[in-house]
Amino acid sequence: MCVVLSMANRKKTVVLWAVTALALTSFAGGAYFATHVDDFRSAGQVTANAAAADDTSGAAGRAPSPDSLAVNSLELAEKDVAAVKPEVVANREFPVEKTAIGSIDFNQDMTVQVFTSYPGRIVQLSAQLGDEVKKGQVLFTIDSPDLVQASSTLISAAGVLDLTARNLVRAKTLYDTKAWSQQQYEQAVSDQQTAEGNLRAARDAVRIFGKTDAEMDRMIKERKVDPILVVSSPVPGRISDRNAQPGLYVQPGNPPAPYSVADVSTMWLLANVPESDAPAFRVGQSLRVKVMAYPDHEFEGRVDTIGLTVDPNTRRVLVRSVIKDPRHELWAGMFANFVIQVGDPVRSPAVPLNGVTREGDGTMIVWVTTDRRHFTKRIVKLGIQYNGYHQILDGLRAGDIVATEGALFMSNALTTATR
């Protein structure tokens, strides 16, 4: 009898411990569920289903199935509503543009290579690289043998004219006194006229070298040759290249030119555009240019020339544009990005940049809502970006309401819940 009672007490003890353990387990599970009820709710609404997700990726206006809505929908908790900012989709104008990269160069139509007209050795330089020069400003001087010869001829011709003039005076006196014949007198007149012609020719020859009448008169008076030939700038502009050095022997048209002068009020933009984009370009089209040195400033220009051949190696076509640079801010060799309008602007639905998120497979999505509390994922096709907005080519229409701020938060929440 004692053994039977002992066994009964032992069974009661075991049952008591089992009941206690079950109660503790139920309490712990209830506490966990209470603290994670929002997670369970979202998980129930965004259960992953790839096939159903494809069903909701259609164009705007197509009604998704109830199952796919459950898969791609989120209901915001009260505390998360303030983190999401919905915005009504509106139509905006998007320009039809092409972009390309090019480099800045001097306007070769406005650039002059300055050569000397006669050979000689450089004596002095008067301009440095980058200097602003005016038309007629002295760039350099040379010691010219040709100028020496022309000056010598001028001085000689002046002396001969002086001699023939005195002979003519004497011949006239002798002729008046019948001491000379008429033939002798006429010969003196002819010699004087020939000397005058020779002097005029000599002066014209020296004038070609840039000497003034006053300078020639001084040479004749002092009987001293001036061998220095002055080379001036034929146009106003900036010194874009200098190869001249004192003592360097230069010849007409023999490269490199001692100086190059460029009018930098306009510059060239040289770009090689893809062969497929070439038909969109036309001579006279306006464009906007930006360079890294002035990221907040746009330069204006127009297309000047389009190449007639395609580079066989790069399959690109040369497009040359003339850029206005009145403040002389552009430098040859700068890289530049340019945008050219190739058509009339088009109106399309637009969504702010932060309202579009990228999926892991590369698709672009937005979150659409009707009550600003329940959001549905929708795949869209994007066009260009302009002034902080995405152009929507497919998937939305004007009047739809989409999430802007907070769109990435909802995408991350969906991704986390479907894992």
Residue 189's region, left for phi above 0, alpha for psi from -120 to 50, else beta, is alpha
CB 255 within 8 A of CB 120: no
Question: Is residue 135 packed enough to be buried (19+ CB in 10 Å), middle (13-18) or exposed (0-12)?
Answer: exposed
- pLDDT value, residue 419: 64
User: Residue ranges of the domains in the chain?
Assistant: 50-94+346-417, 101-107+263-344, 116-260
| pTM (predicted TM-score) | 0.59
Confirm whether 101-107+263-344 and 116-260 share one CATH topology.
no
**Could you tell me the fold of the domain covering 101-107+263-344?**
Elongation Factor Tu (Ef-tu); domain 3 (2.40.30)
Amino acid code (one letter) for 68: S
Identify which of 160, 223, 219 has the alpha carbon closest to the alpha carbon of residue 195. 160
Give the class (CATH, top level) of 50-94+346-417: mainly beta
Reported as a single tens digit per residue, the pLDDT across 110-134 is 999 999 988 999 999 999 999 999 9
- What 8-state DSSP symbol labels residue 80? G
- pLDDT value, residue 39: 40
Q: Which stretches of the chain score pLDDT less than 70?
A: 1-71, 417-419
- pLDDT value, residue 180: 84
Reported as a single tens digit per residue, the pLDDT across 55-113 is 433 333 444 444 444 467 888 777 777 778 889 999 999 988 888 899 999 999 999 99
CB 87 within 8 A of CB 62: no
- Give me the CATH code for the 116-260 domain, please: 2.40.50.100
- pLDDT value, residue 270: 95
